[in-house]
Structures are given as C-alpha cells and as structure tokens.
Amino acid sequence: MIKLPNRIHLANLPTRIERLDRLSKELGGPQIFIKRDDQTGSEISGNKIRKLEYVIQEALDQNCNYLITCGGIQSNHARATAAASSKLGLRSCVVLRSSGNDSLEGNYFLNKVLGADIEFISPEDYKERRMEIMDEIKARLIKEGHRPYIIPEGASNGIGTFGYYTAMEEILEQEKNMGIKFDAIVLATGSGGTYSGMFLANKLLGHGTKIFGINICDNAPYFQDRIYGILQESFSYIDKTIDFSKNEIEIIDGYVGEGYAQSTSEELEFIHYLAKLEGVILDPVYTGKAMYGLVNEIKKGNFNKYKNILFIHTGGLFGLFSKKDLFFS
C-alpha cells in the first residue's frame, strides 16, 4: 500500500456497480457492468468530484479561499467545482468556452444558481490561452485580497489523479463482494485524469485488468502524451513510480464524431435506446460517445476475449438538457 495525499470527503461513496443484463443479451458477447459514478451526489454528481476531493484539499492546505477553473459551457467539472466551493464556504470563478449565444440551462444555469463568477472566452482563446487567462484572473483576485487556487480543466493533474486511484481500490473491494473480476474497464477520456488514476492504481496494485479509454475529442496520440504527463506529475505526491510506456495507454479512437460536445444523430439515438432498454441515461459529451463506441467495438468482435467488462458512468445528466431539441426533431 502507498500513502496517498490527504483528501476532503464530499462524494457519496462507494458508488454501485450494476449489470446491464438486457444490453449484454442483445449484444450476445461479454457481460457488461456499469459503475454509477453519475451518482456521487446531486449538485456534485459525476466523476469530477472524486478528483476534486484531492485538489480542493490541497487548496485548503495552502489556505486558499477562491477556486478558479475552466471548461465548456456545459462543463460538469465547472459545476461540481462551483457546488463544492459553495458547500465549503469558498468563492469560485469558472471560465467557460462559449460562442456567445448559449441558452441559460443545464450546468451553465446551475453555475449561476450556485453563485459562481462566470467569465466567457471564445473557443479560440480557450484552446490557446485558457491557462494564461486563469493566471490573469488569479493575479487580479490576489490584488483584491483573495487567495486563489487554479484547478486545470477536469481537475486532471497530478493531485487529481488520486481520485480514480481510490476508485480502483473501491472496484477491487466490490469485485470481492460480487465474486467477479472485471477483465476490462472502459471509460470516456476527455482530459485524461480519470484514466490516469485508474491506470496508476491498476499498475501499483497489480490488478492486471485492461483499462480502455474512448476519446471524445482530439485523438489517441494526444491522450497518450497527456496521460503520460499527468502520471509523471502524480509521482511527486507519492513515494513510488511505475515503469510504463505510452503504448500501454490504451485509447480507442474513432468515436469523436462531430467533435467535443457535438452530437451526431446516431449518438443521440443510442442514448435514447439505452435509456429505454436499461433505464440508464448517458450524457451527450462523454458517456454517450464512449458507450456508443464500446457497443460498436463489441459488435466488431474486438472485445471477444473479455468476459466481464466494467463501464464507468462518469455522469453529465445536466448537460443532456441542452440537446433536448435534437432528440425528437
């Protein structure tokens, strides 16, 4: 066992693991299970809060009182950060990527309800200058007498990695209780932190399962580089490292579709299909694309050698409402 960094406890844990019987039967392949990290809370729901437990603890240890972060207009991470900040009596500023004509709904609406300061930047500035812009906000807040702390996109950094290290520990305990072993774990990959934590724990705990990320933006080489960097940063927090190559970081490419937060009709039809089949609602940005990808990979025979597959439901329900007009048009 390694000594992990300290964390604040905010999420409702452990989250359930459920078997998707009807989907598994329809596919006629491996048994598919789903870990309900969409149920980590209500205001803080989704995978981000696991990472934020470690990140916010570091901010508190540094006596910070203002959290700055960034994301898309429907960012689950920004909303979870705003909610956790309010819960802890901190202030928050969320820098959101916007084209300028967004409806006040979903996570964007909740950010306002939760009292976050909101700053909008263009997609171009978000891609090229988001860290610079957050640094500028930090400098301004310091001048105003605040003690700000910057959280990167998705809380995907060295300290945030441990949110999904502990999630893997949780899964191992659930495997024992269920009398089962998951020989493959599949998750959406959008900023790399969730995958990094699972990969690190899988290595250090000697579990030997296969961790697959399905990228919902960019491409496989980008995420292999990104995850490699996050893992290197995480080593500064613990007394161990792991030997690994970028080729061990398994990213299944080909399901980005129209791009980040953009939905094809096939993806939305699949979300509707699974909701009717299993009573599980996926989101259009992350889990909808990733589960759609997993199901298609199973149909292609690429998961035939796996018996039990665990899919991580990383949340995102609130972001679905911004797509409502596309579902039944």
* Pairing between β-strand 17-19 and β-strand 31-36 as defined by DSSP bridges: antiparallel
Is-catalytic flag, 75? Answer: yes
pLDDT digits (tens, 9 = 90+) for 209-246: 999 999 999 999 999 999 999 999 999 999 888 999 99
Question: Looking at residue 201, what is its pLDDT?
Answer: 97
Question: Looking at residue 29, what is its pLDDT?
Answer: 87
Question: Looking at residue 58, what is its pLDDT?
Answer: 98
Tell me if 197 sits within 8 A of 163, measured CB to CB. yes
Task: Give the Å distances, CA to CA, from 191 to 136, 247, 298.
Answer: 22, 18, 24
pLDDT digits (tens, 9 = 90+) for 166-179: 999 999 999 999 99
The tokens 């957050």 sit on which residue? 134
| Residue at 93: amino acid letter | C
The answer, yes or no, to whether residue 185 has pLDDT greater than 70, is yes
Closest CA to 220 of 197, 249, 194, 187: 249
The residue count of the chain comes to: 329
Q: What residue ranges do the domains of the chain occupy?
A: 17-45+157-327, 48-155
Average pLDDT over residues 88-101: 95
Question: Looking at residue 100, what is its pLDDT?
Answer: 84
Global confidence as pTM: 0.96
CA separation for the pair 174, 246 (Å, rounded): 29
| DSSP state, residue 90 | -
Question: Looking at residue 176, what is its pLDDT?
Answer: 98
CA separation for the pair 161, 219 (Å, rounded): 21
**Token duo for residue 310:** 């665990």
The residues, ordered by sequence, that sit 6+ positions from 248 with a Cβ below 8 Å of its Cβ are 199
Closest CA to 297 of 208, 227, 213, 199: 213
Exactly one of 45, 75, 191, 322 is catalytic; name it. 75
End-to-end CA distance of the chain: 53
Q: Over the range 130-169, which residues count as b (16 or more CB within 10 Å of their CB) and which as e?
A: beebbeebbeebeeeebebbbbbbbbbbbbbbbbbbbbbb
Q: Which fold has domain 48-155?
A: Rossmann fold (3.40.50)
**Token duo for residue 18:** 């459920």
CATH number of 17-45+157-327, picked from 3.40.50.300, 2.30.110.10, 3.40.50.1100, 3.40.50.720? 3.40.50.1100
The answer, yes or no, to whether residue 1 has pLDDT greater than 80, is no
The answer, yes or no, to whether residue 329 has pLDDT greater than 70, is no
Whether the domain at 17-45+157-327 and the domain at 48-155 fall into the same CATH topology: yes
Tell me if 13 sits within 8 A of 170, measured CB to CB. yes
Tell me if 30 sits within 8 A of 308, measured CB to CB. yes
Where does 235-316 have alpha helices with state H?
A: 265-278, 287-299
**Token duo for residue 227:** 């995850």
Name which of 87-91, 146-150, 233-237, 319-323 the model is least confident about: 319-323
Please state, rounded to an integer, the average pLDDT across all residues of the chain: 96
